[in-house]
């Protein structure tokens, strides 16, 4: 006997199944990415840049006599 469900019921059921599969896939990918990130080495802190030497101010122009 053919399925007598309305097309919207079939669509809703299909979308619910798809949503469930997407949630499962997202959970697996998120867990895998977290595992990969946890296995990465932590970089050492960078050394601060050297402090530039003090720059002497230019000589002020001589005042006109």
Q: CA–CA separation, 28 vs 35, rounded Å?
A: 11
How many CB atoms are located within 10 Å of the residue 42 CB? 5
Q: CA–CA separation, 27 vs 23, rounded Å?
A: 6
Indicate whether 5 pLDDT > 60.
yes
Q: How much is the pLDDT for 60?
A: 55
pTM: 0.50
Q: CA–CA separation, 25 vs 34, rounded Å?
A: 14
Helix (H) or strand (E) holding 37: helix 7-39
The predicted-structure confidence for 6-40, as pLDDT tens digits, reads as follows 889 999 999 999 999 999 999 999 999 999 988 88
Q: CA–CA separation, 16 vs 22, rounded Å?
A: 10
């Amino acid at each position: 006997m053919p399925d007598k469900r309305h097309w919207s019921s079939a669509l809703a059921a299909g979308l619910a199944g798809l949503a469930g599969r997407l949630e499962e896939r997202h959970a697996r990918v998120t867990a895998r990415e977290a595992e990969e990130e946890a296995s990465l080495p932590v970089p050492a802190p960078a050394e601060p840049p050297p402090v530039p030497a003090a720059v002497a101010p230019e000589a002020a122009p001589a005042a006109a006599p």
